[in-house]
A and B are shown apart, each in its own frame.
Chain A
Amino acid sequence: MTLKPSLFPREFTFKHYEFIFFTRYPSKDFPQNVVNSLIVGILASAFANFLAVIGAYGLSRYPFPGSDIFSRMLLIIYVLPGIPLLLPIYSLLARMRLTDNLIGLILVYVAINTPFAVWFLKSFFQAIPVELEEAAKVDGASSFRAFVSITLPMSLPGIVTTFMYVLVTTWGEYSLAQIIITSDWKKTVPLGLATYMTDQYIEWGPLLAATTLVVVPIIMLFLPFTKQFISGLSSGALKD
């Protein structure tokens, strides 16, 4: 290679950004990847949070024998599935005819992230005094009404934070996505990026342009919630 490395770019150019937006062929269709990732991320995060709110509320308000151990185990369950479980998860999906299907991917992401979301949200619900709900019930509100009008708004920062967290992690998830999704037009962003990397000759320009476009929104989306995230994580971890 005749190019000499230099610490600062010799010239500034937007041609790599142009390339990833306008040069579209099936195996490298970056805008399509972004759309897929957004659909998968938002739906997975919404479902996971919906189930997690119900679960975490139940654990914090109606403890049952063993519920303590159960909620501590949820975090382990979140970190346990890795490559070992990839093949069996894939064959389960294949039996349900959900491979190479974004719904299948969403289902797996919901299943993986819900235990973490429950564990995380439980500490938010526990921080809200039960007396507030009881006061509402004395005033004639049903349990559900008391939950919707008091507990839910008060735990909203926690819910928004878990939503962002699940969105950000599913947005970047690679190993499950690359096994489940095979069609080019269903690929998510990490898979799109990986297609650049497995080429014999890596085109660094477009790859780094695409990487920048992936990283900037994540940081912009997540940064406002870091404080919430840190406090939620800490209270969960410290109580655990």
Chain B
Amino acid sequence: MKKYRGLIFVLPVIILVLFIVVLPIITMLNNSLRDVRFGFEKNPAFTGLKNYLDLLEDETFIDSIGKSFLWTAENLLIQLTVPLLLALLLNRKGRFYQFVRSVLLIPWILPMVVVSIVWRWLLEPNIGYVNYLIKCLGLSLVNFLGSTSLAFHILVLINSWHFIPFGTILMLAALSTIPTSLYDAAKVDGANSFKRLIHITFPLIGRIIWFVGLLAFMWSFNTFDLIWLTTQGGPANSTMTLPTYIYKLAFKTYEAGKASAAALISTLILIGVAVIYFIVFTPREKKGVA
């Protein structure tokens, strides 16, 4: 029994996880198989897979899955490349760089409500600064968040802007663990800076890139606050991602059964991604990379 002594210490954490993740998932599964409107009725009728079949015929739902994957893909692309470039630029010693590193994190700690307010204000079609600048250039005004073709991509940019500091900080941390002697040795051997990047930097920080990618994936896939506080899934459902649609089903149109079915699908996608990540990066198989 002594082997399991540590379990006593984490017991409260386990209970909390049961409460916040495991029980909700069980509730979700149960609700998804029943005829519920609000989600907490007593003894609702069992309807089998009806909610799932309804979802399959729901065009908004099918579209929202596609939108969510596009949303996640666009976000991942920006949230992996920009932090990597920034980290390579900022990986230098000196007071200035240290200062930049501290200040860099600020956008990330800003609450999403604040981010949404500020960007909605900047992009406001009549009084926003962005349109003011566009007008100065002699171009016609753009209603960024009211456009079915633009709103989605503008929100991707705002969401990425919020995440980039966090990704950059993690990648910088990984870069700073690479001893400079490695680069010097490669230089002596005649490797140019591109070759040093490919053969030294990437292999050594590969794990952290995957780690940042995992967090970027989970957070992007789950993005709700930003979308809800700026476009509410509109205009014309052009920003209706899966979480936004689940929210609408659960709390606006009161179709809790359908919402639970969609929520379970969404949760399974995220758990699936996490499982794949863990299979690829089991600690026992990792090679001697710090």
Q: Which interface class (under 10, 10 to 19, 20 to 34, 35 or more) fits A?
A: 35 or more
List, in ascending order, chain B residues with CB within 8 A of A51's CB. 12-13, 16
Rounded to whole Å, the gap between the CB of A29 and the closest CB of chain B is 17
User: Contact flags (1/0) for B274-285 with A, using CB distance below 8 Å?
Assistant: 100010000100
Main secondary structure of the interface of B (DSSP, over half): helix
Q: Which residues of B sit under 8 angstroms from A173, Cβ to Cβ?
A: 111
B120 within 8 A of A: yes
**Residues on B with beta carbons closer than 8 Å to the beta carbon of A219:** 106, 109
Contact flag A111-B225 (CB < 8 Å), given A85-B263, A197-B116 = no
Q: Is the interface of A mostly helix, strand, loop or mixed?
A: helix
Bits for B254-282, please: 1 = Cβ < 8 Å to A, else 0: 00100110111011001100100010000
The answer to whether A230 and B208 touch (CB under 8 A), given A174-B229, A238-B290, is: no
Is the C-beta of A227 less than 8 angstroms from some C-beta in chain B?
Answer: yes
Contact of B127 among A65, A194, A204 (CB under 8 A): A204
4 extra interface residue pairs, beta carbon distance < 8 Å, beyond A114-B16, A172-B112: A64-B6, A77-B21, A91-B40, A92-B27
Name A residues whose Cβ lies closer than 8 Å to a Cβ of B.
Answer: 1, 3, 5-7, 51-52, 54-55, 57-59, 61-65, 67-70, 72-74, 76-77, 79-92, 94-95, 108, 110-112, 114-115, 118, 168-169, 171-175, 179, 190, 193-194, 197, 202, 204, 207-208, 211, 214-215, 218-219, 222-223, 226-227, 229-231, 233-234, 237-238, 240
- Taking Cβ atoms with an 8 Å cutoff, the residues of B that contact A are 3-10, 12-13, 16-17, 19-21, 23-25, 27-28, 31, 39-40, 101-103, 105-106, 109-114, 116-118, 120-121, 124, 126-129, 131-132, 135, 169-170, 173-174, 177, 208, 211, 215, 218-219, 221-222, 224-225, 228-229, 243-244, 246-247, 250-251, 256, 259-260, 262-264, 266-267, 270-271, 274, 278, 283, 290
